[in-house]
Structure 1
Amino acid sequence: MDTNGSVPLGGHEHKRHEYAGPPAWGGFEQINEPIQEQWTYLSVANIMLANSLLRSRPEVDANRIGITGISWGGYLTCITAGVDQRYKFAVPVYGSGFIGDSSAWTGAFKNMGEGGTKWLGLWDPSRYLKHARMPILWVYGTNDGAYYLDAVQKSYQLLPANQSTLSTHVRMPHGHGGAGENPEEIHAFADHYLKGGPALARIRKQERKGNDVTVRYSSSQPIVRAELNFTKAHGSWLDRYWDTTPAQLDAKKRLVKATLPEGTSVYYVSLIDDKGLVVSTQHVEVAR
């Protein structure tokens, strides 16, 4: 759905309808308006109304509705998951909380002064995510230009570990269309919870001793490959270069082992099943 009040005319035309509400992505400039007239409030309210509308339709199974969103839609998915418990699952693509700490807008919030503090207190997803009860799949990239890696991690760490599944992709492009819609992990996650399809793999344990990394997992589908993704860079998440190297997979023991290259600053391990679906561990920052 369009959360900026536009109607589907095709192409890149964004004509807004008469009940569209305030135009915005984020609505930072609306912070001193009544709460009910601010973009985030209206967007989440409309998403919840859309859920109710779908549930009212006789051709819709009300027990099989999930939510996913891309970019600002991922941001809204994070909030909605915390305030509307009716969804069977949620999949934020790129979106996260803690955007005042680490995102493309961190500088803007600092420049807003008290207004930025007020906006984050009202509308940062970290205020709401902890109330989410449905399973959540986080799909994001190592160098995303909007929602940075550490902000995504702090967001899913608000929840019990078994509630979140991670699918982290090296240099995943940010965008609507194919970039944010085509990852097959989204479809597989939805099919599992809505149609009883195979579940994505689960990370059961990850640990590091020195440069030796081990990961234990469970999976109903064959895991055919494991990869160690790592960077030696420091500084901006946006600018760090990531490498990928094969990890040692013991499919019978459901165990992955890898050795960190000297100088690794951050790493995570990915499992790839026989359909090419990627499930990842949490990323780990290595203290040196």
Structure 2
Amino acid sequence: MKALLVFFLLSLTAGFAQNKTVPGIDASAIKTDSLPWDLNALSKAPAVEWLDQTGPVHSLLYQSADYEGKPTRVFAYYSNPDLIRGKATGKRTFPGVVLIHGGGGKAFKEWVEKWAADGYAAIAMDLAGKGADGQRLALAGPDQGDVDKFLKLEKAALKDMWTYQAVSSAILAHSLLRALPEVDASKTAVTGISWGGYLTCLVASLDNRFKAAAPVYGCGYYDESDIFKKPISQLSAGSRRKWMKFFDPSAYLPYAQPKFLFVNGNTDRFYNVIPYHKTYSLVSANQRTMCLIPNMAHGHEAGWIPHEIRYFFESVLNDGVPLVQVAPVVADDSTLRLAYQSPVSILTAEFHYSNDTTSLNEQRVWSKQQATVDPKTRTVTSPMPKEGFQYGFFYLKDHRNVSVSSPFLVN
């Protein structure tokens, strides 16, 4: 009862964060008549309670969507470049980034530290209804197990599903971030890992206030995943169609407006070649950059280590030097050719390929061969593998050690 009273009083005022007026989401850009989220409501900064503002990373609770008819709060960490250096927040403004954890994850304090040190106001929230101590909050939303993500759909309302709640919480975190006086609301980005990458695809498609997005691993077409097609197959036919209609990123990515950096490996256990290829293909080629990292490990730390994400955000938000841009691969009987544009010269280039169509994605056998870089013509070439290939991609690194790739070539 006491927790409910505190939350009721908290919800009467959103604190200082709502004193700043910023534009909301343009909901008309999402051309569907069956959108379960109220994007206008999610555009407003939520009520917030700061739990600890004494250290370089602050902790807070903020109001999120009602769950099973009851109010909820979400735990999060926040920092910015002033705070991480032990300074009081001054008159400077910073770009902002929303950090979305994956399955089994939490609000990662160290992830916030990383981005604050890199020059960003950063917020990372817990999407399993837990606080800093890993215990369930008094006003918690759903946990992040398969029941709340999938099986519950047989009986539950859309608003009580984990995806609905997680998307709501991530967009509200963005609204809160944009309302903070030290955040430049015109320069915000989002990145997420695994299930957080899946959510990044959804959130960046629905929330067109973001200028840049970097989903790591996660993609759409969940009914074609080596792993996730299994819990989806346990649903009734009607519920399967319902899940894909409302909760699969493929339903919303065609409306996405931010610039995207798609980061994944070629042997990821959860997000395999074909659904991944279909997912990024929903975003126009001039709106996306690919970063397929050979044999990339799967995990939270592995997912936030690639510095390509920071370079990409800097190029979009702060007019930084862009990543290498590649044209579609041109193939003839003997040669694969890739044209590129880059302000930084290319250091290395490889072509990775596989003819293994029977193994699970994480067990697929890949080969690689060195490619030739011609800086005068700005082309990369590789001999056509003698045995041909079913899947392939070029992988390039420039002299900053920043990598990009071609999209997958699927024969």
Inter-partner Cα distance in structure 1 for 2:126 and 2:338: 40
Aligned partner of residue 393 in structure 2, secondary structure: strand
2:151–2:231 Cα contact (<8 Å) kept:
no
Aligned partner of residue 24 in structure 1, secondary structure: coil
Task: Please give the per-residue CA displacement for 1:201-256, whole angstroms capped at 9, x wherever unaligned.
Answer: 11123111124100001111111211111123222323211122210110121101
Q: How does 1:19-168 map to 2 (within 5 A)?
A: 19-25=139-145, 27-31=149-153, 32-114=155-237, 115-168=239-292
Shift of 1:64: 1.3
Aligned partner of residue 186 in structure 2, secondary structure: coil
1:5–1:20 Cα contact (<8 Å) kept:
yes
Inter-partner Cα distance in structure 1 for 2:365 and 2:401: 23
| Pairs aligned (count) | 281
Unaligned runs of 5+ in 2: 1-124
Q: Mean alpha-carbon deviation: is it higher for 237-246 or for 183-192?
A: 237-246
Aligned partner of residue 62 in structure 1, secondary structure: strand
**2:138 is aligned with 1:15:** no
Measured on the aligned residues, the alpha-carbon RMSD in Å equals 1.4
Partner residue in 1 for 2:380 = 256
Partner residue in 1 for 2:47 = none
**Residue of 165, 172, 190 corresponding to 2:296:** 172
Which letter does structure 2 place at the counterpart of 1:260? M
Greater gyration radius? 2
Inter-partner Cα distance in structure 2 for 1:278 and 1:7: 36
Aligned partner of residue 126 in structure 1, secondary structure: helix
Which letter does structure 1 place at the counterpart of 2:270? A
Aligned partner of residue 51 in structure 1, secondary structure: helix
CA 1:19/1:101 → structure 2, altered by over 3 Å: closer, same or farther? same
Q: Which runs of 4+ in 1 moved over 4 A?
A: none
Q: Percent identity?
A: 34
- TM-score, normalised to structure 1, is 0.93
Q: Mean alpha-carbon deviation: is it higher for 256-265 or for 271-280?
A: 256-265
**2:407 is aligned with 1:285:** no
Inter-partner Cα distance in structure 2 for 1:18 and 1:149: 41
Aligned partner of residue 15 in structure 1, secondary structure: coil
- TM-score, normalised to structure 2, is 0.66
Q: Mean alpha-carbon deviation: is it higher for 103-112 or for 127-136?
A: 103-112
Shift of 1:197: 1.7
Aligned partner of residue 205 in structure 1, secondary structure: coil
**2:395 is aligned with 1:270:** yes
Unaligned runs of 5+ in 1: none
Partner residue in 2 for 1:193 = 316
Shift of 1:25: 4.3
